[in-house]
C-alpha cells in the first residue's frame, strides 16, 4: 500500500529550515497586504512586497514611473511598516520587474496563408528528404485563405 503524504504542519515541526521559510513567507504575505493598504489604489495593483532583509523592505513594481513615485513615499512607508513590525524599517528598495503575469491569457490565433504561399510550401514539402520537416510544411500549407 502506498505511503500517505505527510501533512505540511507535521513536516514543518520536524524541519526547522522549512518552518523558518514558511514563517518568512507568511510574514511577506502579511506585509504585502499592509503595503497594498498603505499605497494609493492606482499603485497597489502594480506592486508587491518581494522580501524583507534585515531592516530593508524590497518592493517590486512593473512600471518604472510608478517605482519613482513609490520612492517618494519611502519615509511614510517606513513608518507604516515599523508600526506593524517588531523592528524598525530603515530603508525600502523599489525595483522594477516587468510583470510576468499568470493572469494574462495569450491568444493563439491561427495565421492563414495566401494560396500562393500554401502552394509553395506544398511543393517544397514534396522535395525535402527530411520526413519531419516535410510533414510540418504540409501541415503549414493547409492553412491557406480560401
What pLDDT, on a 0 to 100 scale, did the predictor assign at position 58? 94
| Range 8-96: architecture per CATH | 2-Layer Sandwich (3.30)
User: Do 57 and 28 contact (CB within 8 A), yes or no?
Assistant: no
Residue numbers of the chain with a pLDDT score lower than 50: none
Instruction: Identify the DSSP state of 143.
Output: -
Quick: pLDDT tens for 20-51: 888 899 989 998 998 888 888 888 888 999 99
CA 46 to chain CA mean position, Å: 12
Distance CA 131, CA 39 (A): 59
What pLDDT, on a 0 to 100 scale, did the predictor assign at position 110? 63
The strand order across the sheet containing 91-96 reads 47-53, 56-61, 91-96
28 HSE (CA, 13 A, CB side): 17
What pLDDT, on a 0 to 100 scale, did the predictor assign at position 123? 86
Q: pTM for the complete prediction?
A: 0.60
Q: Of the candidates 111, 109, 107, 108, which has an alpha carbon nearest to the alpha carbon of residue 143? A: 111
Write down the domain spans for the chain: 8-96, 110-146
What pLDDT, on a 0 to 100 scale, did the predictor assign at position 1? 59
Q: Please report which residue ranges of 39-130 form alpha helices under DSSP H.
A: 41-44, 64-72, 74-84, 115-127
Distance CA 99, CA 95 (A): 12
Amino acid at each position: 500500500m502506498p505511503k500517505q503524504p505527510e501533512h505540511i504542519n507535521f513536516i514543518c515541526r520536524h524541519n526547522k529550515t522549512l518552518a523558518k521559510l514558511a514563517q518568512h513567507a507568511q510574514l511577506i504575505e502579511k506585509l504585502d497586504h499592509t503595503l497594498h493598504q498603505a499605497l494609493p489604489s492606482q499603485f497597489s495593483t502594480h506592486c508587491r512586497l518581494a522580501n524583507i532583509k534585515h531592516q530593508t523592505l524590497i518592493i517590486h513594481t512593473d512600471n518604472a514611473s510608478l517605482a519613482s513615485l513609490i520612492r517618494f513615499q519611502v519615509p511614510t512607508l517606513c513608518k507604516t511598516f515599523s508600526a506593524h513590525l517588531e523592528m524598525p524599517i530603515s530603508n525600502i528598495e523599489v525595483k522594477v520587474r516587468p510583470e510576468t503575469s499568470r493572469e494574462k491569457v495569450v491568444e493563439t490565433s491561427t495565421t492563414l496563408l495566401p494560396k500562393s504561399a500554401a502552394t509553395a510550401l506544398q511543393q517544397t514539402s514534396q522535395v525535402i528528404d527530411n520526413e519531419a520537416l516535410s510533414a510540418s510544411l504540409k501541415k503549414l500549407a493547409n492553412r491557406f485563405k480560401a
